[in-house]
Amino acid sequence: MAKKIKHYDFTKRPGKPSAFWMWLARNFAIRPRLKGRKVTVVKKNMDGIEPPYLLFVTHASMLDFPAMYTAVAPYNANNVVAIDAVRDVGDFLMRRLGCITKRKFVKDLSLIRNMRYCAEKYGTIVCIYPEARYTLDGTTGFLPDSLGKMCKLMNVPAVVLRLYGTFISAPQWNKDEQYLPIRCELECVASKEEVKTLHADKLNRRVHAAMQRDDYAYQRAEGIELKNPRRANGLHNILYQCPHCGKEFMMYSEGTRLWCASCGKAWQVSTLSELQAEEGETEFRYIPDWTAWERENVRREVREGRYRFEADVTVHTLPNAKRFYDQGMGKLVQTCEGTRLSCTAYGEKRELFWAGTELESVHIEYDYPYRKDKYKKNLFGDCIDISTHDDSYWLHPVGLRDQLTKVSFATEEIYLLAKEKVKERGKKE
């Protein structure tokens, strides 16, 4: 069976964004997608900055893509896109829009080659979303330390696009999209001359600093009220641990209410996305403060060697941009040493292991895919997506609820700890 399946060819050169297909996309997809929303574009240090340049964009929701194209107009861009998104839209169309396909959290030299090719051959904007997945809580997610090196390899100006409002309009844990204002801040963080002369570490720090944002702080500052009566629905996916009793995976949410089924404590979510305990102390007023506390707890588990996740999972693979392949059941185990998947794929037994230093982060999806009318097959529910160079494994934990956010935090903490150990060993040698 494996020989019959054609894997995606990431070495294939991307095309220049087609004027005709981009005109269709702008008029029948991008503009309609933003209809009813006030979109503001603010440019900083952009005088004299024209394509080609490297564009780093914050990532929050599907609204990021039309917002990005609006911010860089009248120019088009060669957009780096994950293979699952190419599968959703279709490789034929994505290639005509100039998209560069990749797998999430996989180091791929062909990606850099294709990005450089677009900048040098076509003179276009090359756009990448370095967080590689949607933010969980409206703040900046995991950013790799290789962004400065990427700037040096591209040898074009480095620009950051911070998007505000795309998260609070459509957080991944709540599927009720709201029509709220969007702010696009386009900022040049390094000119071409600076890219040539500055050290990669300094460029990396500049990009990291410019990528920082907090969509909930933006919401409060702008006084944007979220009047959706179901605005708390799904919040338990990211606020999975009760700060009152400490129990995990016993949180529930519905309407404007979040509560713990273990101790009974409950909170209301205001129109400004602020939390208020129904009784007693409000441990965390702001959602990112709660998730930061959860992450700190996971960090402690990892560094004390106590962390372990184990689950039976349904396994689907995505070797190409055509469709998912059902591979039956498997077992996923994650410890402080790394992540292991045991399964059968294409009729062969597989034992896959990602050491702590190999997996920077992991892509997760709540209730994927949400559009059940569009995807009549391959309905997974909550998913963990882990990739190798030639395949992506979409894993649905069976019999467990609300584990994904903790797995995501743990993957990043395991990676950071592994990196520290490598650095310490290097100093001793």
- The model's confidence at residue 373, banded by pLDDT at 50, 70 and 90, is low
Q: Tell me if 168 sits within 8 A of 225, measured CB to CB.
A: no
Closest CA to 154 of 188, 130, 120: 120
CA 243 to chain centre: 26
Whether 320 has a pLDDT exceeding 80, the answer reads: yes
Whether 2 has a pLDDT exceeding 50, the answer reads: no
Neighbouring residues of 243: CB distance < 8 A, sequence distance ≥ 6? 283, 284, 290, 293
User: pLDDT: is 359 or 370 the higher one?
Assistant: 359
Would you tell me how many other CB atoms lie within 10 Å of the CB of residue 264? 12
Per-residue confidence (pLDDT) for residue 425, from 0 to 100: 82
Compute the mean pLDDT over every residue in the chain, rounded to the nearest whole number: 94
Alpha helices, DSSP H, located in 48-182: 64-72, 83-89, 91-96, 109-117, 147-154, 166-169
Q: What is the pTM of this model?
A: 0.94
Write the pLDDT tens digit of every residue in 264-287.
999 999 999 999 999 999 999 999
Alpha helices, DSSP H, located in 198-352: 200-211, 215-222, 287-303
Write the pLDDT tens digit of every residue in 340-368.
999 999 999 999 999 999 999 999 999 88
Whether 37 has a pLDDT exceeding 90, the answer reads: yes
Write the pLDDT tens digit of every residue in 170-192.
999 998 999 999 999 999 999 99
Write the pLDDT tens digit of every residue in 207-263.
999 999 999 999 999 999 999 999 999 999 999 999 999 999 999 999 999 999 999
Q: Tell me if 394 sits within 8 A of 381, measured CB to CB.
A: no
CA dist., res. 88 & res. 103, Å (int): 14
- The model's confidence at residue 428, banded by pLDDT at 50, 70 and 90, is confident
CA dist., res. 70 & res. 53, Å (int): 16
Q: What are 106's two structure tokens?
A: 């996989």
User: pLDDT: is 269 or 377 the higher one?
Assistant: 269
Whether 3 has a pLDDT exceeding 80, the answer reads: no
CA dist., res. 358 & res. 363, Å (int): 14
- The model's confidence at residue 205, banded by pLDDT at 50, 70 and 90, is very high
Percent of the chain with pLDDT over 90: 91
Whether 372 has a pLDDT exceeding 90, the answer reads: no
Pairing label, strands 348-355, 381-387: unpaired
DSSP string covering 1-17, please?
A: -GGGSPPP-TTSPPPPP
- The model's confidence at residue 107, banded by pLDDT at 50, 70 and 90, is confident
Whether 371 has a pLDDT exceeding 60, the answer reads: no
Q: Tell me if 248 sits within 8 A of 240, measured CB to CB.
A: yes
